[in-house]
Structure 1
Amino acid sequence: MNLDISNQKRIIVLLSPLVIILLGFTTASLFSNIIGGWAWVPLAIVYWSLLGLSIYYFKANKAVKEWLKKPKRSFLMVTLSLLLGMFPLTILIMNYALFDSAILIVLWLIFALINPWFEELYWRGLLLDAAADWFPKWVGVIYTTILFVLSHPLMWGVFSIASKSPHLYIYLTVMGVIWSITYYKTRSLRWVVLSHFIVDIGNLTVLTFLNIYIPS
């Protein structure tokens, strides 16, 4: 599961979230002053590009398919991942009428189809693997989860009210820990990516970015 990279590169990988969050914050701040909530589009492009470049450059000889190989059985963690992933579906059920245009539906689906791959390969794949040789697993889980949670208010929260909700921080923390443990137990990101996809479908993503949906 570990990455066969030099210590110098490992340090860069482990510090890369700070750079990515900073560049994401800068992008969000710049474009939100010009196009408001639609700043999520350039932010997503910059964010996914940075995650993709990090994965490509620092994965060394590890193929992406190794992160997505057939998972080992772990009934408890897979069940927890899927159940927690389905929790936001209640938001979709109660607010589906907010999708009042085809473009919103298309953008919502595109985001949900793309985002889980980049985020899970980076936050749970690349970072947890990079931390594995130096720290106990629980340290890697805490480190990646904290930065994963902070990335939401510091990037998406620049223009999205929902992304600054304390309830969201609690939920993201629980999900970050559960997804990390699921990766460790199953040695695969398949179930994690699926759970993340369900979350992005249920929490209305694009509608929250545009503040069309604001949690009470």
Structure 2
Amino acid sequence: MTIRNSNVKFWCLFISPFFIILLGFLTATVFHSFIGGWAWMPLALVYWSLLGFAIWFFNDHKRLGDWFQKSKKAPFWITITVLIGIFPLTILMMNYHLFESAWLIFYWLVFALLNPWFEEYYWRGVLFDHLLTKFPKWFVIFYTTALFVISHPLMWGVFSYASRSYHLYIYLSVAGVVWAITYLKTQSLRAVILSHFIVDIGNLTVLTFLNLYIPLPCNGFYS
């Protein structure tokens, strides 16, 4: 019975990304019809709550602190991970003037501080670790990265032009693979969460949700 329950729990975790993305899509769609781009707020709350529940419910072998332990030496991959994070900072440097209110700065910083923890503990933490017990590394990297990338247009892309940009898909695909490999090499999410935080700072998350910042290809297409 224990083995059977464990197996059921594993496959529930395996398909959980589809459930999370679906609920995120429905939340974004419903609230977007009422409050436009500000639908990012209820979406973030629902998304983080679902990720938090999944981390709590499916994690049966690690303390949260274990994922944030001191990294094993992997200087090459840690360097690549940091560079991946730094890359979007050019967006911030060229568009910082778009922060026209203190509230926008506050929301932007809060999102960047919270989001990496929930996403990394789920996508590269609980989900990644459990899938490694039954699947080869290449498949786990592909599966978690593909669904991580797809979640952006299907949830945030409901109201954000930038979240439907093919440039974002390419960047997130590269970042997802690099973050996954870095986690495998270091056995820690330290560098990955730091990189993800810098990414969320650099890509102006909340401004893109509100379409105050739209990348040029998107701007031309949707104008």
Equivalence for 2:221: none
TM-score where L is the length of structure 2:
0.94
Q: SS of the counterpart of 1:176?
A: helix
Equivalence for 1:11: 11
**C-alpha deviations, 1:57-85, integer Å up to 9, x for none?**
11014111111111101011000000011
Q: Which runs of 5 or more structure 2 residues have no equivalent in the other structure? A: 217-223
Q: Which amino acid aligns with 1:50?
A: L
TM-score where L is the length of structure 1:
0.97
The CA distance in 2 between the partners of 1:49 and 1:118, in whole Å, is 9
Q: Which runs of 5 or more structure 1 residues have no equivalent in the other structure? A: none
**C-alpha deviations, 1:172-198, integer Å up to 9, x for none?**
000000000000000000000000000
**C-alpha deviations, 1:140-192, integer Å up to 9, x for none?**
00000000000000000000000000000000000000000000000000000
**C-alpha deviations, 1:82-134, integer Å up to 9, x for none?**
00110000000000000010000000000000000000000000111111011
Which runs of structure 2 are paired with 1:78-157 in the superposition (5 Å)? 78-157=78-157
The CA distance in 2 between the partners of 1:132 and 1:109, in whole Å, is 33
Equivalence for 1:51: 51
- Post-superposition shift, 1:8? 1.3
The CA distance in 1 between the partners of 2:169 and 2:6, in whole Å, is 33
Q: After TM superposition, which residue ranges in structure 1, 4 or more long, deviate above 2 angstroms?
A: none
Q: SS of the counterpart of 2:211?
A: coil
Quote the sequence identity (%): 63
